[in-house]
Amino acid sequence: MDKITAVIVAGGSGKRMGMDIKKQYILLKKKEILAHTIEVFEGCDFVQEIILVVSKEEIEHVKERIVDYYHFNKVKKVVEGGKERQDSVYNGLLQTDQTASYVIIHDGARPFITQETIYNCLQKAKETGASIVAVPVKDTIKVCDAESHKVEETPNRDKLWLIQTPQIFSFELLRDAYAYAKERQLQVTDDSMIVEAFGREVYITRGEYSNIKVTTPEDLIIGEAIMSEKI
């Protein structure tokens, strides 16, 4: 039986939210956003281990007020994040059970992911070694000059996807890809970029538009509506 670990990264500052409290601890339906996220993975029969990655000063708070309070038994460790997101993921990988077959990387501020989407992505990762959740873009995208903002190109929308999490990989593949990236000091914005740089193919699993990342105050309004639909 494959052993599956979920690494949930929740070390962001939440500056764009414009609030004193970090976004992952904001309440939605009287429960922290991070708690909603963990709850989904806690309920996945195929996930055996959850690693939480948070800022150093919040480790004890998360252990007491979220993990213990909500009785999340699959959370095995709460570990310190790094300077950048990729550093936080790497710290989580180091604390993952090294006998894991697959690792699921997910944003702590994406509480609306469904178990069905996670399962579908996992099945694709088992077939290919690397799969990421995404949805087709709805709008036309323009490539512009960084300074003048002059339009340089209009890519074919049929080939463009909005990337989300989870992103699921063979544990051995992701571990080796991260070692490769650290050796070369690569800077990336998501885990699939590291795997791509390592020379491996990544495949998309179609997700849901409701799987938003709560980043701005407007997202809270949308999140409340999404959660109301699920209740």
Q: Per the domain annotation, does 197 fall within a domain?
A: yes
Q: Per the domain annotation, does 180 fall within a domain?
A: yes
Q: Per the domain annotation, does 212 fall within a domain?
A: yes
Residue 79 is given by DSSP the state E
Q: Per the domain annotation, does 118 fall within a domain?
A: yes
- Domain of 29, in residue numbers: 4-133+163-230
With residue 85 as reference, give the H or E element that holds it: helix 85-95
Q: Per the domain annotation, does 92 fall within a domain?
A: yes
Give the CATH number for residue 80: 3.90.550.10
pTM: 0.94
Residue 91, classed as helix, strand or coil, is helix
Q: What are the CB-based long-range contacts (under 8 Å, 24+) for 195-201?
A: 195/130, 195/169, 198/173, 200/129, 200/130, 200/173, 201/128, 201/129, 201/130
For residue 212 the two structure tokens come to 């938003």
Q: What does the alpha-carbon distance between residue 202 and residue 177 come to, in Å, rounded to a whole number?
A: 12
Q: Per the domain annotation, does 152 fall within a domain?
A: no
Which residues fall within 8 angstroms of residue 211, CB to CB, at 6 or more apart? Answer: 110, 112, 113, 114, 117, 133, 135, 164
pLDDT tens digits for the chain (231 residues)? 899 999 999 976 666 665 667 888 999 989 999 999 999 999 999 999 999 999 999 999 999 999 999 999 999 999 999 999 999 999 999 999 999 999 999 999 999 999 999 999 999 999 999 999 999 999 999 999 999 999 999 999 999 999 999 999 999 999 999 999 999 999 999 999 999 999 999 999 999 999 999 988 899 889 989 988 875
Q: Per the domain annotation, does 156 fall within a domain?
A: no
Q: Per the domain annotation, does 64 fall within a domain?
A: yes
| Domains identified in the chain, total number | 1
